[in-house]
Amino acid sequence: MKDATDPEGGGLLLIEDTPSLQMIYAGLLRKAGHSVHCEATASKGLAAFHALRPSVVLLDLMLPDRDGLQVMADILHAAPATSVIVITANGSINKAVEAMRAGAHEFLVKPFDEPRLLAAVTNALGASADMGNGTRRSDADADTTRPPPPFIGTSEPMQAVYRTIRSVARSMATVFITGESGTGKEICAEAVHQISNRARGPFIALNCGAIPVDLLESEVFGHLKGSFTGAISDKPGAAAAADGGTLFLDEICEMDLNLQTKLLRFLQTSTIVPVGATHPRKVNVRIVCATNRDPREAVRRGHFREDLYYRPHVVPIHMPPLRTRGADVLEITDSLLSKMASEEGHDFHGLHPRVRELFLRLPWPGNVRQLINVLRNVVVLNRGPLVTPDMLPRDLLAEAHVSELGDHGSVAAGTAGAPSLDAALRALEGKPLAEIERLVVMAAIERNGGSIPRAARELAVSPSTLYRKRDSWDAQER
């Protein structure tokens, strides 16, 4: 039996103030072979913690004599390697989010069942053992400036991303990744998975925006044979396939509102009900979500459920656009160029100085994905040995021209306060195309003193187009 005081065994301390729940949880844990010490107040719990030094603490958030979060802060201050599993009823989700950010290993929402509790404890014991023995996964305790694979780049914005990825490694916290298209959101999700204790489990990625609405529920939760026309066999679905690992839901803001409700239930209960099934099934999955939209704006517009926004938004990670990553563009280029050249059998070993200078200046609206495509184009169509300006795709040179125009425009105009094109574009960073259109149209209307016909003339569209768009935006606002 694993004893609470045995450093090899990990040990558990349960701080829960409702006696019957204490009995149930303790019975469950003991039945699984754990030795557990129980306390019902914060003061006695902390005293037991200092006396026993357990590696895992199960902590109810609402204790009679003190807030559970304060207790957790004291525990982690005294022994940072301790894994604290927070227990809370549904109404405490916001506090649970706060707890995860404050260093909780995991939170369990009452009611939870035996597999869920035991999985959480097993993960927590594993994490604590790794921390205690100094055998934590190499990426977690490695040189913190080194990118976790497969990332490339050491710029300051990316260092912040790496730090966050490492800090969530020992946690089960849901991660919400935002960033423009092509910034590497899926790579970030993979890094979160690879660096976690679930690395041996599956990593399942699902692009919610790429699957027809009618099929998405089946793709996520699975279906039973005969549950709908075309369901010729049972299908497990992504959530079941990711059991024991990580489920990456990309473009989550594109998900149908009805399905968002089901996803929220899945996040709250860790149970799935395949299409056509009558009984729920528990799965043990860590969720990582991503979107290239502003999720708060999507909530404001009613496209994304507010409760679903807060539920997975435990640890947010924003992937910076390539244009803000400085010399990373050259590091990525050098790494990819040699790899692609080897694959294509061509002899490329670097960039011409003018191309290097150009790459540093380009806005890269498609980010790393655009850079990869440009390099592949160059390597496939040319022999080397240096990438010269004439090898670059014409549309990339056009982008460079626009960028230069922007730079020159701000200098040539010399108008105090007049924003350059580049600055104007930067102000639109991270916004969806529809929102950019709205901003441009509204600015044109304002510039023309509120006259829609004059704004329409400036934008070379018919006034009815602008009236229709404005009405639609007004309706969305309401």
Partner 1 sequence: MNSLSLISAPRSGSETPRQPFDSATLDSLVALCSGVEGAGLLAQLRADFERLEAGVRRCATDRDVVALAARSHEIKGLAATLGAGPLTACATAVQDACDHAHAAALMGDLTELLLAEIGAVIAALKRLEGHDAAGQDHMGPDMTGPDGRAGGQEGLHTPDRAGPGRSGLEKTEYS
| Residue 290 three-state SS | strand
Q: How far apart (Å, rounded) are the C-alpha atoms in residues 254 and 210?
A: 9
Q: Are strands 281-282 and 350-351 parallel, antiparallel or unpaired?
A: unpaired
Nearer to partner 1, 29 or 329 (CB): 29
Amino acid at the residue 311: R
Closest separation between CB of residue 139 and partner 1, Å? Answer: 37
- Token code pair at residue 442: 């509204």
Closest separation between CB of residue 87 and partner 1, Å? Answer: 8
Nearer to partner 1, 57 or 158 (CB): 57
Q: How far apart (Å, rounded) are the C-alpha atoms in residues 154 and 162?
A: 9
Nearer to partner 1, 39 or 180 (CB): 39
Q: How far apart (Å, rounded) are the C-alpha atoms in residues 202 and 283?
A: 13
Closest separation between CB of residue 295 and partner 1, Å? Answer: 25
User: Could you tell me which residues are beta bridge partners of residue 288?
Assistant: 175, 248
Name which of 88, 84, 118 is nearest 282 in CA terms. Answer: 118
**Cβ within 8 Å of residue 348, ≥6 positions away:** 337, 338, 340, 341, 378, 379, 382, 384, 385, 386, 387
Q: How far apart (Å, rounded) are the C-alpha atoms in residues 327 and 330?
A: 5
Q: Given the rule CB under 8 A, which residues bind partner 1? A: 17-24, 26-28, 30-31, 36-41, 44, 62, 64-65, 88-92, 110-111, 114
Closest separation between CB of residue 114 and partner 1, Å? Answer: 7
| Residue 233 three-state SS | coil
Nearer to partner 1, 32 or 442 (CB): 32
Cα-to-chain-centroid distance, residue 279:
30
Nearer to partner 1, 88 or 260 (CB): 88
Nearer to partner 1, 112 or 176 (CB): 112
Question: What is the crossing angle of helices 463-477 and 452-459, to 10°?
Answer: 110
Q: What is the DSSP letter of 252?
A: G
Nearer to partner 1, 38 or 441 (CB): 38
Closest separation between CB of residue 323 and partner 1, Å? Answer: 45
Closest separation between CB of residue 43 and partner 1, Å? Answer: 10
Nearer to partner 1, 107 or 248 (CB): 107
* Contact (Cβ atoms closer than 8 angstroms) between residue 195 and residue 246: no
Name which of 99, 121, 107, 117 is nearest 10 in CA terms. Answer: 121
Nearer to partner 1, 23 or 423 (CB): 23
3-state helix, strand, coil in the chain (%, to 5): 50, 15, 35
Q: How far apart (Å, rounded) are the C-alpha atoms in residues 478 and 475?
A: 5
Nearer to partner 1, 37 or 323 (CB): 37
Question: H helices of 326-432, where?
Answer: 328-344, 353-361, 367-381, 394-413, 421-427
Taking the CB of residue 475, how many other CB atoms lie within 10 A of it? 8
Closest separation between CB of residue 154 and partner 1, Å? Answer: 47
Closest separation between CB of residue 40 and partner 1, Å? Answer: 4
The single residue listed with the structure tokens 């209960």 is 269
Closest separation between CB of residue 66 and partner 1, Å? Answer: 10
Nearer to partner 1, 17 or 404 (CB): 17
Closest separation between CB of residue 432 and partner 1, Å? Answer: 33
Q: What is the DSSP letter of 230?
A: T
Closest separation between CB of residue 34 and partner 1, Å? Answer: 12
